[in-house]
Structure formats: C-alpha cells, structure tokens
C-alpha cells in the first residue's frame, strides 16, 4: 500500500494545538506503517522549516523520531517540499532517512502512473505578486545570505511570523466568507486551477492519478479518465489518500 498526506503544518498555532496535530500525525504514521510500502509526504509537513549547515529548528521530535524509525524498518518515506518547508537541506535525509523531492514527480506505483506535487507554483501566471514572491523564496542567493548572515533565532522568528500571517489571513477570509454566506475561503473552487493543470498535463502524458496538497480542501475529483485527489490540511480537515495493490486510489478522511 502507498499512502499520501500533506499540509500537516507542524508547529502552527498555539503550543497545545500544535502538539495535538503532531500526536495525531505520528499516530497515523504508526497506523499506516503496518502495511505501507511507502509514505508520501506531499509538502507543508512543517509550518516553517529553515535549516543551517549545523543548525535545525527546535521541536518536532516525535515526528522526526517516527520517520527515522519507519525508514530504519525499511519503509520508504518520500518528502516533497511545500511552500512552507522548501528550505530543507540534507538533515531529514541523513538523520531520518527520507527521500526528498523539490519538484513534481510522475511515479509508477502498483502499475499506475501517479503524478505527485505539492501544487504551489502551478497555474499562477495571472498572479504576478505570487510569482515574484515564489521566485524570491526560491532564490539560492537569498537562502545563502539568510543562512550566513541571519542569526537562527531571527530567521526562525521571521519565518514563523510569516507562516502564521499567511495562514491567519486565509483563515480570516474563510470565516468572513462563511459569515457572509458566500461560501468558505477554502472551497472547491480553490482546487480548480490544479484540476485544469492536471487536465492539460494528462493531454500529453499518460497519468492514472494526480495527487496534490496545498489547497487545504480535500476533494476526490473524477471526470472520465481524469482522476485528481486533493489532500486536506491537518489543522482543519485531516485527510489522506491510499493506493492499494489493485491500483485504486482513495481519499479518506480522518475521524475527529
């Protein structure tokens, strides 16, 4: 069996809620490890991660320990970077044994062609500000400057503030929209650009399933031969996907 989860946003919110999300995630890792050949973590596992050559962020010990235990047992853990944790270095690979991808991948699993991507930086041609921000955050020079000239406490403080700010503004938009009865800020329409991306990609490539994170809205979309699964955000709508030996990919919600 192959499992997929994204947007755990470990470390987000106050200490108590961050800890409860982490416990839940670790319990899930434990549960699926019984029959998992591989576990795919599809981005934004950490709400903020920035790694120096010899310094990593405090916290997350339950998660890191569990990941190390799983890979020691021979279970593959594949980590895709998201927009909140794109700045991983070699620590997770060396210490926890995870494989790291920084770009979308088309994989063959159980005889199925599965396209896996976090989903940020796709279909954003009409959003120049977001494109500029993405380019800035992906800049190697900036990352290098950050890690040589910025004290880790300051870098982490800035990063946590930035991550919290973007999450809060999303949540606020969501609440306002719900109050005004105009639907949620997080709703199915958010997933449309990635479905459009998948449709275009599938026109020129053989793909059986697409798996995306990022949109914080769990959705299992089928249209003819197009199958797109959007994973949920664990703070709000914890969900995961599983690919079984018959090649069927299913979205499952976690009971709260």
Pairing of strands 219-223, 226-230: antiparallel
Least distance from Mn ion to the Cβ atom of residue 8, Å = 9
| 7 binds Mn ion, rule: CB under 5 A | yes
Least distance from Mn ion to the Cβ atom of residue 128, Å = 21
Q: How far is CA 71 from the centre of its chain?
A: 19
**x/- contact string, 192-231, with Mn ion (CB under 5 A)?**
----------------------------------------
Strand ranges in the chain using DSSP code E only, listed in sequence order: 2-5, 38-42, 76-80, 99-101, 105-109, 112-117, 209-212, 219-223, 226-230, 239-243, 249-253
Least distance from Mn ion to the Cβ atom of residue 214, Å = 6
| 85 binds Mn ion, rule: CB under 5 A | no
Could you tell me which stretch among 3-11, 166-174, 176-184, 217-225 binds Mn ion (CB under 5 A)?
3-11
User: What is the distance between the alpha carbons of residues 110 and 231, in angstroms, rounded to a whole number?
Assistant: 20
Nearer to Mn ion, 227 or 230 (CB): 230
Site for Mn ion, residues 23 to 82, rule: CB under 5 A: 44
Nearer to Mn ion, 84 or 209 (CB): 84
| 235 binds Mn ion, rule: CB under 5 A | no
Pairing of strands 226-230, 239-243: unpaired
User: What is the distance between the alpha carbons of residues 21 and 17, in angstroms, rounded to a whole number?
Assistant: 6
User: What is the distance between the alpha carbons of residues 67 and 72, in angstroms, rounded to a whole number?
Assistant: 8
Number of residues engaging Mn ion in binding (CB under 5 A): 2
Least distance from Mn ion to the Cβ atom of residue 126, Å = 21
- Contact yes or no for 5/231 (Cβ under 8 A): yes
Nearer to Mn ion, 43 or 57 (CB): 43
Please choose, from the candidates 3, 59, 48, the residue with its C-alpha nearest in 3D space to the C-alpha of residue 28: 3
Least distance from Mn ion to the Cβ atom of residue 78, Å = 18
Query: Applying CB under 5 A, which residues contact Mn ion?
Result: 7, 44
């Amino acid at each position: 069996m192959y499992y997929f989860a994204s947007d755990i946003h470990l470390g987000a919110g106050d200490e108590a809620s961050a800890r409860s999300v982490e416990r839940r995630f670790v319990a899930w890792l434990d549960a699926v490890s019984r029959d998992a050949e591989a576990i795919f973590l599809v981005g934004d596992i950490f709400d903020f991660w920035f790694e120096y050559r010899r310094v990593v962020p405090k916290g997350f010990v339950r998660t890191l320990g569990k990941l190390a235990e799983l890979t020691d047992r021979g279970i593959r853990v594949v980590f895709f970077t998201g927009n909140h944790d794109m700045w991983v270095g070699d620590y997770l690979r060396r210490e926890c044994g995870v494989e790291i991808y920084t770009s979308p991948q088309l994989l063959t699993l159980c005889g199925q062609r599965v396209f896996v991507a976090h989903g940020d930086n796709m279909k954003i041609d009409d959003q120049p500000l977001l494109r500029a921000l993405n380019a800035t955050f992906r800049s190697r020079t900036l990352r290098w400057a950050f890690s040589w000239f910025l004290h880790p406490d300051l870098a982490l403080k800035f990063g946590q503030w930035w991550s919290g700010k973007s999450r809060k503004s999303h949540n606020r938009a969501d609440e306002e929209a719900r109050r005004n009865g105009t639907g949620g800020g997080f709703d199915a329409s958010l997933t449309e650009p990635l479905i459009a991306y998948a449709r275009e990609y599938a026109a020129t490539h053989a793909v059986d399933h697409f798996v995306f994170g990022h949109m914080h809205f769990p959705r299992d979309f089928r249209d003819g031969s197009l199958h797109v699964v959007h994973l949920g955000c664990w703070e709000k709508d914890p969900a995961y996907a599983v690919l079984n030996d018959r090649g069927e990919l299913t979205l499952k919600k976690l009971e709260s």
